Structure 1
Amino acid sequence: MPPLSELMMFALALAAAGVVSGVLAGLFGVGGGAILVPVFFQVFGLLGVDDAVRMHLSVGTSTAIIVPTSVRSFLLHYRRGVVDTALLRNWILAIPLGAILATVIAAYVSSETLRLIFAMIALAVALRMIFNRATWRLGRDLPKNPITWLVGVVIGVLSGLMGVGGGVLNNTFMTLYNRPIHEAIATSSGVGVLISIPGLFGYIWAGSGEPGLPPLSTGFVNWIAVALIIPVSLLVAPLGVRLAHAMDRRQLEAGFGIFMILIALRFLYSLYG
């Protein structure tokens, strides 16, 4: 067990991550997992958590935290009237199905594979957002079913494997089909709700009985980290929402892209550095 001073530093680091994740939940329509997963990966490593379960624990714990932060962010955006509720109704089964499939996959893949998935998706989305042009469109409006429904399943799977709330992928999907970035961000908060709730139970199941997990963990969810971060995230989420509606489209896209590149590089370094 690390000294008390080190544990206090870890707790402060987690609390700081909670501030950033809460702001991001409102600002980019994500559950904050894009920053929480790498933070958890680092902190759990310093605490001596087995490498074989460290990434799984990071993703599962992040998913648990996304539940309240996404709900809070969704309600705030919904009150502003910019959420595409028709799209969310279309995905009410598709996205949870994808999230459950992600936890089944996670139960059988290695920590290195999870990190590589996270980094590759983050990098692809980042490049698209940074170099985005108005002419980069796949259509004037969202495609009809079954295409949109299948996209929902894919968003659920990939986001579930990353431990994020779906904003990373949904923002890209909606903007490619000519939807405003502010509407995409607002709708992504609802996507986070559809991913995180089934994902939470899935990661608890996937990690049940796994050796090497830290104290107060249920499957791949560590409740100490959850208890530290959720209150802070909920407190600062409204700040992110206000920032999102105050910034223009290009600022949001560029900021989101730069953020995701930094996260992708961090995980690639952990694999090949």
Structure 2
Amino acid sequence: MQILLDNLPTIIALATTGVFAGILAGLLGVGGGIVIVPVLYFLFQRFGVSPQSAMLIATATSLATIVPTSISSIRAHKAKGNVDFALLKAWGLFILLGVLIGSSVVTFIGGQWLSALFGIVASLSAINMLFRTGKSAITESLPGRVGQSIMAYCIGFFSSMVGIGGGTLSVPILTACNYPAHKAVGTAAAIGLIISFPAALTMLFLGQTPVDAPYGTYGLVNLVGFVCIVPLTVLFAPLGAKLASVMDANLLKKIFAVVLLITGVRMLIQTFI
């Protein structure tokens, strides 16, 4: 009981993160990782964790939270026929290879470089939300087998390194290749599971817990954060979806993109200055 009381501010902050991520996921259709990683990164620093350790733990914890939420999302999209299992079969091995290499790199790379990488990914994602309609394809179709293999590997590699699921990278990449948007979103949920499960396990069992890690951290995964965030994310995502039906979701998405861009730039500044 005393341990809970001593860590009550952290627990409340982590629970708030879950509520925030769930509402945004339902409201804007953005993946939880793109929200959870920067929130945990700055939150852990408020509780005395160094920026380098905070980034490592935020990345691993985010990936762990994506596992159950992606399973729930897969079931919903599968029921609507929006999961492309043929594409998953073609891409799965290359995504997994990228994940295993990327998550292994995280266990020994400095958190400073991960902060820089996330800052770049977040900034590019924000720019994509702000200026791309989502309807304008760059190419008429997906590239050949070699091109798709490279795309799948890069999605797995970079997603596992910055703690995000499949949607942040795979949806814009697929839609840019004239792939149907509804299938891109549904398939991205399955890609998220392929990314998050092995990556979280790698960081849990191979990662070395930083000396300044917050309470409940094993390997690089903060299990207290996992327990606080997951149920609240799942619980509040439907509320976000309901809000989307009565609010201007496009405007809110633009606002979120601006906030995400500011966050990405701030992480880059903190990394290099």
TM-score (norm 2): 0.85
Question: Unaligned regions of 5+ residues in structure 2, if any?
Answer: none
**Where does 1:49-88 land on structure 2 (aligned, <5 Å)?**
49-88=49-88
Aligned to 1:150: 150
Residue 232 of structure 2 aligns with an amino acid whose one-letter code is V
**Could you give the per-residue CA deviations for residues 42-86 of structure 1, whole angstroms, max 9, x where no partner exists?**
221122224442210110111111110111112112212222222
**Letter matched to residue 21 of structure 1:** A
Which segment drifts farther, 47-56 or 163-172? 47-56
Cα deviations by residue, 1:108-130 (Å, 9 ceiling, x for unpaired): 32221111100112212322332
Structure 1 unaligned blocks of 5 or more: none
Deviates further, 222-231 or 51-60: 51-60
- Match of 1:97, SS state, is helix
- Deviation for aligned residue 1:160: 0.7
Match of residue 193 from structure 1: 193
Question: What's the TM-score once normalised by structure 1's chain length?
Answer: 0.85
Query: Offset of 1:183 from its aligned partner?
Result: 2.7
Q: Which moved more, 1:220-229 or 1:90-99?
A: 90-99
Q: For residues 142 and 208 of structure 2, what CA distance do their matches in structure 1 show?
A: 39
Q: Name the CA distance, whole Å, in 1 between partners of 2:20 and 2:162.
A: 18
Shifted more, 21-30 versus 74-83: the winner is 21-30
| Amino acid aligned to 1:89 | K
Q: Which amino acid aligns with 2:217?
A: S
Across the two proteins, how many residue pairs are aligned to each other? Answer: 271
Instruction: Measure, in 2, the Cα distance between the counterparts of 1:189 and 1:21.
Output: 16
Residue pair 1:21, 1:233 contacting (<8 A) in 2 also: yes
Matched residue, 1:33: 33
Corresponding residue of 2:220: 220
Q: 1:136-191 CA distances to partner (integer Å, 9 max, x unpaired)?
A: 53322222212112211100111111100021111111110112333322221111
Q: Which residue of 2 aligns with 1:108?
A: 108
Q: Is contact 1:37-1:58 (8 Å) kept?
A: yes
RMSD of aligned alpha carbons: 3.0
Asked if the contact 1:181/1:249 (under 8 Å) is kept, the reply is: no
Answer yes or no: is the 8 Å Cα contact 2:31–2:168 preserved in 1. no
Partner of 2:183: 183
**Alignment map for 1:134-173 (pairs within 5 Å):** 136-173=136-173
Compute the displacement of 1:238 (Å): 3.9
Report the secondary structure of 1:146's partner residue. helix
Q: Aligned ranges for residues 109-128 of structure 1 at < 5 Å?
A: 109-128=109-128
